Structure 1
C-alpha cells in the first residue's frame, strides 16, 4: 500500500508544502507572499458576468479587478451583469485565465468571500492521518522536490528514462528504454512502459502539468489492455476528470488530465525559461538563513548577480529582523544569474 508523508517549509517570502509518495516527491505546493490570493484554487468570490460568448459556451466574469473564465451548459446560459457566487476551479497559467465554477446566485459587487485553504490544510487533504514535518528536514525535502520539478529527463526504476516536455498544445512524455536489461525484448519494453506510466503520473502531479498528455511508448505490439489498466491506476489520484484513450497505431497513448493549479515552471521561471530573479532571491535568503543556523554568531557574506541582489533587498531586511544584521549581500557583475555564494567571514 502506498504511503504519503507531508512536509512544510516556512521561509521568508515563501512557504513550500511537499507530499512524498513512497519516499518520492509527488506534489510541491508553493505560496509566495504578495501574490494575489484571488485566483488560488478554492478561493470563493462574488463575480459579475461581464460578457457571454455563446459560441464557446463560456462567459468572462469579473472577480473584482481580476478576470476569469466560466463555462456553462446550453440550458444554463448566464445573463450579462448578473452576480454569481463562484469558486476558483483552475488557477491561471501562462496566457490563460483562471476558471471558475458556479456555486449559486449572489448579491452585490464583485469581491473575495473566502481565501483558498492554506498550505497546512491542503497538505492534510492528501493524507488525513499523516503528521506534517517542519524545520530543516522539510527544507531539504522541498529543495529536492523543486530540483526535480525543473528537470526534463527522469530515470525509470529498472533502467531507461522518460522526458517530460510542455508545449502550448500538450504535454509529451517520451519513453526511452536506455540500458534496461533483459533478453526478452517484448517483456523489457512492456515493463519499461508500465514503469513510465507510474513514474510520469507522479511527476505530472509534482510539476502541476495537465491537459492533453501524449505518451510515446517504446517498442511494438503493445498489450493495450494491460497499459490501459496500469494508466487508470497510476492516474487515479487525478480524478475526477481523467480520460484515457487506447494505444494508437503509432505506439502512442493519449489522455487528458485536469488542470487545477498553476504549473510550477510558471511560478519558478521567467519568460525565457530560466529561474526568475525572485526565485533566485528566495533561494539566496534561504541559504543565508540555513548557514546562519549552522554557524550561530558568525558574520556571513553573500555574493550574487546584481539583479538577484536587488530582488533580495526587501527579503534581507526581514531576515535581519530574524537573525540579526550579521550578513551582507554584495552584487557581483561577473557572477551568472543562477550562481551565488554564502560564506562565513
Structure 2
C-alpha cells in the first residue's frame, strides 16, 4: 500500500510517501518552488564560460550549473550560446547542480518545464512504485520520515543495525549484528542481518537523498554474492536499472554506485528556508496549544526575510496574530 502524507501552510510544505508502512520519500520547502536547478526541470540557459574541461551555465533565475557533456561535444560549444538543458543532479555541499544538454536553443534564458507543487512532484516520484491509493495527513508519519531523511542510520527489523555515514569520497555503510541472536546461531544471524541491510539500503538512501559510491561493510567475509545482489536490486525497485553494482570484495564489502539526484535534506538543514519552515511549524503548534494568544517569532534577519513575504501573501488566520522580531536565536514567544 502506498500512502502520501502532506501538509502545506504559509506557502511552505512537506510530504512523505510511505510504502507498506515505511517511509521511502520525503521532501519539504516552498509549495511552488520556482527554482530552475531542481531535478528534471528543463530550461534555456546561457553558456557562461568553459574552463578546465568544464562548461558552466547561467540560468534565467541567476543560478549556475555545470553542463555534463562528452569531450567531443564540449569542444564544439561556444560561450554565450543559448542551450536547452535538463537538470540531472541538484546542488549539494560544494557541488554545483549538473545538467544534460538537450540541444541548441533560441532566445533569452527562460523556464520550459511548468512549475509543479511539491505534492505533485512527490506523486510523480511515487508513481514509479505504483498507484497512490490514499492521501492523508499524519503528522507523526511526517516527523518520522523527516527524521529518517536526516538520520538514515538505525536498527534493522528483527535485530541488527545499519550505520550510514557520508564522507567526501563515498557513502560508508556498516552492518552490525547488535540486537541479539534469538534462536539463530551467530553465523545464521549475521547472514540474516546482511540480507536485511542489503534489502533496506535502497529505501534509506532514497529517503535521505544520499548517492554516489556506496560501500557496505558486511558481517563476515564469505557471502552468497548472487543472493545479496538480487536483494539489493529488489530493494531499489524501479531505481535498480540505474545502479552500477560491483562484486562482493574479498574483505566482505559490497560496492555500488547510485546516481545523485535531489539535494539531501541534511544539506539544507542550515538554510534560511528550512529555518523559516521549522519556526512556522513551531508557531502552529504553540497556537494550537494556546489559542487566541499573540505569537512573536524571533529569528536572524535572513530567516525573517523568508517569513515576511510568506505571511503577507497568506490568507491563513494565524498570519494576523504573528509578529516578527530580529534575534540571534530562533524561538516562538507566546504573549
TM-score, structure 2 normalization: 0.84
Q: In the alignment, is the contact (CA less than 8 A) between 1:299 and 1:327 conserved in 2?
A: no
Between 1:185-194 and 1:237-246, the stretch displaced more is 237-246
Q: In the alignment, is the contact (CA less than 8 A) between 2:234 and 2:240 conserved in 1?
A: no
Note the C-alpha offset of 1:154.
Answer: 0.5
Aligned match of 2:149: 149
1:1-345 matched pairs, under 5 angstroms? 3-32=1-30, 37-52=35-50, 56=53, 58-64=54-60, 65-77=62-74, 78-81=76-79, 82-125=81-124, 126-127=126-127, 129-131=131-133, 133-134=135-136, 137-151=137-151, 153-181=153-181, 182-267=183-268, 269-270=269-270, 278-293=273-288, 297-299=291-293, 314=308, 322-323=317-318, 325-326=320-321
Aligned match of 1:273: none
3-state secondary structure, aligned to 1:199: helix
User: In the TM superposition, what whole-angstrom CA distance separates every residue of 1:13-45 from its partner, at most 9, and x where no partner exists?
Assistant: 521121112111111112337966110112211
Whole-Å Cα distance in 2 between the matches of residues 330 and 199 of structure 1?
A: 44
Whole-Å Cα distance in 1 between the matches of residues 316 and 120 of structure 2?
A: 28
Q: In the alignment, is the contact (CA less than 8 A) between 2:42 and 2:112 conserved in 1?
A: yes
Note the C-alpha offset of 1:242.
Answer: 0.7
Q: In the alignment, is the contact (CA less than 8 A) between 2:177 and 2:193 conserved in 1?
A: yes
Residues 102 and 5 of structure 1: is their aligned pair in 2 closer, same or farther, counting only changes over 3 Å? same
Q: In the alignment, is the contact (CA less than 8 A) between 1:91 and 1:99 conserved in 2?
A: yes
Note the C-alpha offset of 1:325.
Answer: 3.9
User: In the TM superposition, what whole-angstrom CA distance separates every residue of 1:248-297 from its partner, at most 9, and x where no partner exists?
Assistant: 01111110001110111111x23xxxxx56534422321322443466x5
User: In the TM superposition, what whole-angstrom CA distance separates every residue of 1:27-82 from its partner, at most 9, and x where no partner exists?
Assistant: 111233796611011221112333346x75x4222223322112223443442133
Whole-Å Cα distance in 1 between the matches of residues 294 and 201 of structure 2?
A: 41
Q: RMSD across aligned C-alpha pairs, in angstroms? A: 3.1
Say how many residue pairs are matched.
Answer: 327
Unpaired runs of at least 5, structure 1: 271-275
Q: In the alignment, is the contact (CA less than 8 A) between 1:320 and 1:326 conserved in 2?
A: no
Unpaired runs of at least 5, structure 2: none
Note the C-alpha offset of 1:106.
Answer: 0.9
Residues 327 and 103 of structure 1: is their aligned pair in 2 closer, same or farther, counting only changes over 3 Å? closer
TM-score, structure 1 normalization: 0.82
Note the C-alpha offset of 1:341.
Answer: 6.3
User: In the TM superposition, what whole-angstrom CA distance separates every residue of 1:174-224 from its partner, at most 9, and x where no partner exists?
Assistant: 111102314422211111011111222111101111010110111231111
Q: In the alignment, is the contact (CA less than 8 A) between 1:285 and 1:319 conserved in 2?
A: no
Residues 265 and 251 of structure 1: is their aligned pair in 2 closer, same or farther, counting only changes over 3 Å? same
Note the C-alpha offset of 1:139.
Answer: 3.6
